[in-house]
Homo-oligomer: A and B are copies of this chain.
Amino acid sequence: MNLTDPADLAAGVLARKRRAIARAITRIENDLAGADDLVDALYPNTGRAWRLGVTGPPGAGKSTLTDRLIGHWREAGQTVGVVAVDPSSPFTGGALLGDRVRLSERLGDDGVFYRSLAARGAGGGLSEATEAACDVLDAAGFDVVIVETVGVGQGELDVAEAADTVAVVLVPESGDAIQAMKAGLMEIADVFCVNKADHPDANALVGALRSALRLRTPREEDAWTPPVVQTVATESGGIEALVGALEQHRAWLHKGGRWEARREARLRRRVRRLVQADWQRRFWTPERQKALDEAIAALGEERAPHDLALRILGGAG
């Protein structure tokens, strides 16, 4: 098997060869030659995995919780792929692995594949790299693909866009429902998980979340209302309840064509993003970049951003 050839690499992924999966994601992450063909070759083989987003503020215990979920589904005979989306740069990238100590316990398990994703190079940015990495794991046949955000940054939105079901993890000590609202996490949550539920303020947070959810404008008749579950991830407490809530959402998705509709909406957003990225690559030739620099320099203090943009774009014909 020649792993530098996209078709061979795709075949390796479909056969769930770990080396092929790792290489495929690396190729996507770094936007290497053939990455687009590889993604296109795998895409028709996707759509079977359940894509689960796990997000929330730093320090909420997302990694530990993800590990507990992996443990649960592994015991139930399901295979699990994990994409940890890390919006930080190569400078910090190396420091993160040491943080995932628990993960090493599973390194010998073929039913789990873990991969962190920094994706500075990917055309279309981290969002595209995240979706494409999920495609790889989906095509490789993992039953559950967990997309976990590492820290803050654009990651929350990427996870929400890439996932079928989004779990937002909050902890009593890191703030309250107001903080979650500020962070825009209320909109993307399908399930709220109040972790460290043994904390004295946990009930207040649960109550505040439920109140905030009641304040939302009611949408369709059969709309999903995000349940609020409590966990103590370090002691595996509440994991069954969390899994139950997540699986209820999954079942809801599979009714009335929602699953396929979401998948199509995701593809539509994605193609728009790719069109944008492709256009940008074509448009910013060295000549146009030079023209922009010269225009900025020539104008001195009489610069005007929108007028500059129109001049550059107008010249595109």
Contact = CB atoms under 8 A, between A and B. Distances in A.
Given A187-B89, A296-B268, A37 B279 contact: no
A56 B53 CA distance: 23
Given A43-B303, A276-B276, A182 B58 contact: yes
A278 B285 CA distance: 18
Contacts of A154: 153-154, 157
A59 B301 contact: no
Given A151-B183, A154-B157, A58 B174 contact: yes
A67 to B, nearest CB: 17
B43 A187 contact: no
The binding surface of chain A is classed by DSSP as helix
B91 A37 contact: no
Given A157-B154, A312-B271, A313-B279, A182 B92 contact: yes
A39 interface: yes
Interface in A127-144: none
A40 B305 CA distance: 6
A173 interface: yes
Contact of A278 (B150, B186, B310): B310
Contact of A184 (B41, B151, B179, B271): B151
B175 A305 contact: no
Interface string A53-85: 000011100000000000000000000000000
Contacts of A5: none
Contacts of A12: none
A5 B223 CA distance: 43
A222 interface: no
Interface size grouping (class) on chain A: 35 or more
A33 interface: no
A280 interface: yes
Nearest to A187: B89
A152 B92 contact: no
B152 A303 contact: no
Interface in A27-42: 36-37, 39-41
Contact of A44 (B217, B276, B302, B310): B302
A293 interface: yes
A43 B153 CA distance: 29
Contact of A183 (B91, B153, B264): B153
15 contacts: A40-B305, A43-B303, A44-B301, A57-B152, A58-B182, A88-B183, A92-B186, A151-B182, A152-B153, A152-B183, A154-B154, A154-B157, A275-B283, A275-B309, A278-B309
Interface of A: 36-37, 39-41, 43-44, 47, 57-59, 86-89, 91-92, 95-96, 99, 150-154, 156-157, 173-175, 178-179, 181-184, 186-187, 212, 216-217, 264, 267-268, 270-272, 274-276, 278-280, 283-284, 292-293, 296-297, 301-310, 312-313, 316
